[in-house]
Chain A
Amino acid sequence: MSMKWTLYYQFWQIRRAASPSASFSARLESDLKQRTGHMMWWIPIGRIAVGLVSVSILVSGATGVYAYNSDTVTLGHPLYGVRNMLEQVELKTALQAKNRENILQKHRLRHERSIRRLQK
């Protein structure tokens, strides 16, 4: 590492060590909060939005995986539409004819399993 970057790194280390503690920042923030009376402005809206988006991505991803893989998702199940949609997407994104055949075969086997399950 060149001396220039070493020096920048050392500046960064110093700045980090000379930063206010989290407890102090929280205390000061809370003190200022009481003075502002604008409580909402202190809520880190950006962080909440990122958190909510991440959670919804995770939940919808997990739901999709479950709907696609589970044999219990049969006609009448609330996730049946999701499963159908994912199967359609999978089929449409298959570039080669051989792949499409394999996918169709996989779907066929899965549907047969579902029908057997419904007949029980």
Chain B
Amino acid sequence: MDKKYFPHFYKENVKRIFRFFFFRVSGRREIAEDLTQDVFVKAFNAFESYDPETSRSAWLYMIARNHFINHLEKTKPGVSLEELEHLPMGTVDWATILSKKYDTARVLDAIESLPEEDKTLVRLKFLEGWGYADIAEVLGKSAATLRVKTHRALKALRAILKHL
């Protein structure tokens, strides 16, 4: 795609990419910012190979994921792709990091106690802000199936929150 369209693409995705890293680096803003910057520079350099007809924001998500794997290999050698997908968020004091009320941290703790697939869906959809079409492309499932699964995951999350 022509690079002149990159600003629009950047604006549409910068928050999602930042959050993608933010939740995976335990809320350390500086690291998330550095990684976000690297991803957008990479995306800019490869933007001519980007085709919005075949891939929406998932193209960028894959760049971010690969970049994060490289980052982890440097900082924590030996981490697997599966581990990356399910990196724990629960060991972090989110209430302090997000400067938010107890309730918000409680939601993040509750997400952490969901089954792996539900946790990933809730995180991608509601915390990072990806659309179903993007998640479908990343996870290799249909958007309709993911919609139903996300609905169930939310139901499970509400049930957990009732008992917390």
Chain A positions within 8 Å of B, measured between CB atoms, are: 3-4, 7-8, 10-11, 13-15, 17-21, 24-25, 28-29, 31-32, 35-36, 38, 41-42
Residue of B nearest to A2 (CB): B158
- Option from B3, B41, B108 in Cβ contact (under 8 Å) with A14: B108
Residue of A nearest to B29 (CB): A21
For A11, the chain B residues whose CB sits under 8 A away are: 107, 126-127
Contact call B40/A28, Cβ cutoff below 8 A:
yes
0/1 interface trace, chain B 111-143, chain A, CB 8 Å (1 if under)? 000000000000000110100000000000000
Number of interface residues of B (CB under 8 A): 35
With A10-B107, A19-B19 already in contact, the answer to whether A32 and B161 are too (CB < 8 A) is: no
- Option from B4, B32, B129, B161 in Cβ contact (under 8 Å) with A7: B161
State the CA gap A4–B161 with chains docked (Å): 11
Q: Which 9 A-B pairs have the closest CB atoms?
A: A17-B98, A20-B18, A11-B126, A10-B107, A18-B22, A41-B7, A18-B19, A24-B33, A38-B4
For B100, the chain A residues whose CB sits under 8 A away are: 13-14, 17
State the CA gap A10–B101 with chains docked (Å): 10
Contact call A18/B127, Cβ cutoff below 8 A:
yes
Contact call B37/A15, Cβ cutoff below 8 A:
no
CB distance from A87 to the nearest CB of B (A): 47
With A14-B98, A19-B19 already in contact, the answer to whether A7 and B158 are too (CB < 8 A) is: yes
State the CA gap A38–B6 with chains docked (Å): 10
Residue of B nearest to A11 (CB): B126
